[in-house]
DNA sequence: ATGTCC
């Protein structure tokens, strides 16, 4: 794809579309990526990120991360910080899968110890952690209990024995965001969500057994702080979100916003998918409080899955999770909007930062980073495709240019439908097994859709994120087992 | 992403 003539190269990894690109832009749009990535990006990204630049209250830049691709309203990879007084909140800037994110847990087991048990381990994980469209969990809770869960997040799980106190410390927002109000949630959303705690879901959601090989540790000192201390150490990484619950919350409020946006607030947007309400309006506040329930549902979901993972490891290896060193490195989301303080032209401002397919990457010393990591910056977990490996990065002070945000994954280059025509799930499974990755999937077509070849090269994305200074590599994890939704 | 269209 030829780059638009008007695009300005700010550096090797930062590209700017000025306000003259399109009428109504309030700020320039900046896309992060090497020239190779920028050229491979779908054209819709230019259109979508410059649409975002027209939204009321947007501050400094509309940003797109190196793994950007077209999404609902906002591109996936989009970051937009809105003034909390004058600005809007937009479900399209958060995503349907509210608080979708990554969780990483280490073990002290080595590849040689795990390899003889790998199939049993993956098969048991596949059995214990329901995956696929419409899957329901083992946790039986009433609708009322579920309303408590969406207000309490992972705290509810730990209180009920599904996890450890220190898991909470290693979770963004300590596993429970303040201000979640279940009164702002529809019965329909409760219906869809109350039996989905502890389920993986479908699409690009997965759970992976990975190995941290010594040659793929980029920063040994930081890796040690994150708990990577043994050669060929085994880790478990997984990716899931708020399932049908978050989806319904987004759907409910998109409808509300479409009704009041123009008539009540006089806001017109260039794309209906950018439906918004003033952040300070009753509708905006209701969505924010409901969206926070989605955030907490997602933390609880990942907490319960972690508990199941520990149970399965105990079953397979006959040791306690503590004995196997199954400590959480971190849980970090990539579909949220949160009020944060950021420095704008030397002044601290309260901003509502939308991150849609973009990971928070707070740097050293920042408020909100767990004590253990405070001096070095927060862990950033970026899942690659199921065939290529995943990265652990760290937030940097250079993150200030993107409101401390970075990429979240590889980013698709091929549509799901084309991927299904290109690969067959059964063949892919055999090929992956021959390459040392044992994969179990809820759906053959779902497996084909997630083929590594349908994604950008994760290494290109990470290279761009590091070169631009918005995060720094710590380690690359190589998959050996995968449970795919 | 999603009871992949109420």
Nucleotide nearest to A443 (CA to C1'): B4
Question: Which nucleotides of strand B lie within 7 A of protein CB?
Answer: 1-4
A69 is catalytic: no
Q: Determine the Cα–Cα distance for residues A318 and A314; give it in Å rounded to an integer.
A: 5
CA nearest to nucleotide B3 C1': residue: A134
Region A101-253+272-341+350-484: CATH code: 3.90.1860.10
pLDDT in tens, A97-143: 999 999 999 999 999 999 999 999 999 999 999 999 999 988 999 99
pLDDT in tens, A234-284: 999 999 999 999 999 999 999 999 999 999 999 999 999 999 999 999 999
Q: How far is the CA of A6 from the C1' of B2 (A)?
A: 37
Nucleotide nearest to A191 (CA to C1'): B3
pLDDT in tens, A14-44: 999 999 999 999 999 999 999 999 998 888 9
Nucleotide nearest to A251 (CA to C1'): B2
Q: Is A97 annotated as a binding residue?
A: yes
Task: Write down the pTM of the prediction.
Answer: 0.98
pLDDT in tens, A343-367: 999 999 999 999 999 999 999 999 9
Which of these is catalytic: A155, A247, A354, A408? A408
Instruction: Give residue A412's pLDDT band: very low, low, confident or very high (50, 70, 90).
Output: confident
Of A176, A62, A27, A67, which Cα lies nearest the Cα of A463? A67
Q: What pLDDT, on the 0 to 100 scale, is given for residue A251?
A: 98
The domain locations on chain A are 101-253+272-341+350-484
Q: What pLDDT, on the 0 to 100 scale, is given for residue A125?
A: 98
Supply the DSSP string of A306-367, one letter for each residue.
HHHHHHHHHHHHSS-TTTTT--EEEEEESEEEEEEEEEETTEEEEEEEEEES-EE---TT-T
Q: Determine the Cα–Cα distance for residues A332 and A360; give it in Å rounded to an integer.
A: 7
Q: How far is the CA of A192 from the C1' of B1 (A)?
A: 14
pLDDT in tens, A275-331: 999 999 999 999 999 999 999 999 999 999 999 999 999 999 999 999 999 999 999
Token code pair at residue A151: 């207000």
CA nearest to nucleotide B4 C1': residue: A133
Q: How far is the CA of A397 from the C1' of B6 (A)?
A: 49
Q: Is A385 annotated as a binding residue?
A: yes
Q: Tell me what the mean pLDDT of segment A201-228 comes to.
A: 97
Report the 10 Å Cβ neighbour count for A188.
14
Q: Is A155 annotated as a binding residue?
A: no
């Amino acid at each position: 794809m030829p780059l638009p003539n008007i695009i300005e190269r700010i550096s090797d990894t930062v590209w700017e579309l000025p306000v003259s690109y399109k009428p109504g832009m309030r700020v320039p749009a900046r896309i992060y990526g090497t020239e190779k990535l920028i050229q491979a990006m779908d054209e819709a990204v230019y259109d979508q990120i410059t649409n975002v630049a027209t939204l009321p209250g947007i501050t400094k830049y509309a940003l797109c991360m190196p793994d950007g691709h077209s999404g609902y309203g906002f591109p996936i990879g989009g970051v937009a910080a809105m003034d909390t007084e004058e600005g809007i909140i937009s479900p399209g800037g958060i995503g349907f899968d509210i608080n979708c994110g990554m969780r990483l847990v280490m073990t002290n087991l080595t590849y040689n110890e795990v390899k003889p048990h790998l199939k049993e381990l993956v098969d048991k994980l596949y059995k214990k952690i329901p995956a696929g469209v419409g899957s329901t969990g083992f946790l039986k809770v009433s609708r009322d209990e579920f309303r408590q869960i969406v207000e309490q997040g992972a705290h509810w799980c730990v209180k009920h024995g599904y996890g450890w106190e220190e898991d909470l410390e290693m979770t963004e927002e300590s596993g429970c965001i303040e201000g979640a109000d279940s009164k702002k949630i529809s019965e329909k959303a409760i219906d869809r969500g109350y039996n989905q705690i502890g389920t993986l879901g479908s699409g690009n959601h997965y759970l992976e057994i990975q190995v941290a090989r010594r040659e793929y540790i980029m920063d040994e000192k930081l890796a040690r702080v994150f708990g990577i201390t043994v050669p060929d150490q085994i880790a478990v990484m997984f990716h899931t979100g708020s399932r049908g619950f978050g989806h319904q919350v987004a759907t409910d409020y998109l409808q509300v916003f479409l009704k009041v946006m123009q008539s009540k607030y006089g806001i017109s947007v260039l794309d209906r998918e950018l439906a918004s309400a003033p952040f300070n309006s009753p509708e905006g506040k209701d969505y924010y409080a409901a969206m926070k329930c989605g955030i907490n549902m997602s933390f609880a979901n990942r907490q319960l899955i972690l508990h199941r993972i520990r149970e399965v490891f105990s079953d397979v290896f006959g040791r306690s999770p503590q004995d196997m060193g199954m400590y959480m490195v971190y849980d970090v989301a990539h579909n949220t909007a949160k009020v944060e303080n950021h420095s704008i032209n030397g002044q601290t401002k309260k901003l509502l930062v939308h991150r849609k397919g973009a990971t928070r990457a707070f740097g050293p010393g920042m408020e909100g980073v767990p004590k253990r990591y405070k001096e070095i910056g927060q862990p950033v977990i970026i899942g690659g495709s199921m065939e290529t490996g995943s990265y652990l990065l760290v937030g940097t002070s250079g993150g200030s240019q993107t409101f401390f945000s970075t990429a979240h994954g590889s980013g698709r280059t091929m549509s799901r439908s084309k991927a299904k025509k290109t690969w067959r799930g059964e063949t892919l499974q055999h090929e992956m097994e021959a390459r040392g990755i044992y994969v179990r999937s809820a759906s053959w077509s779902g497996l084909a859709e997630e083929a590594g070849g349908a994604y950008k090269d994760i290494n290109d994305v990470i290279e761009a994120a590091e070169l631009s200074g918005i995060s720094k590599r710590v380690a690359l994890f190589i998959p050996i087992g995968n449970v795919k939704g």
